[in-house]
Amino acid sequence: PVVLVTYEREAFLGRFDRTLRITLDRHLRFLPYPSWPDLYRERGLQSIAPSFFILEIKFDMGFAPWLQTIVNRHGLLRTSVSKYGTSIAACIKSRSMHERNRMERPCKPYKFDSETRN
């Protein structure tokens, strides 16, 4: 894989309408170019918007009026979010920032002293 995407999910199922599913995804993190051992590690993961979460509302029988009231009350907007796409964009952004920082602070040339030279 090009990027590993990981997050913490809380899932809820409707008590009266079993087709209603609500999920809260938080602590979205990514790791570019992971190897197999990286799949279950936290080390090296980069966080994306740590104070935000993604709310997903899924339903088959129609959007419940009581849920519409809650959505309206909190000013939530329907939008599409790809956790993978967001991670790729963050990866590109962090890579370009790293490249820019490296160019702004070029490496100093290494000087050999007489003891390390062969």
Mean pLDDT for the chain overall: 80
The whole-angstrom separation of Cα 65 and Cα 33 is 44
Predicted pLDDT at 33: 85
The whole-angstrom separation of Cα 115 and Cα 118 is 8
Contact criterion met (CB below 8 Å) for 22 and 56: yes
Q: What is the mean pLDDT of residues 89-103?
A: 64
Contact criterion met (CB below 8 Å) for 89 and 97: no
Predicted pLDDT at 104: 46
**Residue 73 reports pLDDT greater than 90:** yes
Reported pTM: 0.70
Token pair 């995804």 is found at 25
Q: What is the mean pLDDT of residues 4-31?
A: 92
State the CB neighbour count (10 A cutoff) for residue 94.
Answer: 14
- Which residue, 73, 89, 91, 117, is CA-closest to 33? 91
Predicted pLDDT at 24: 95
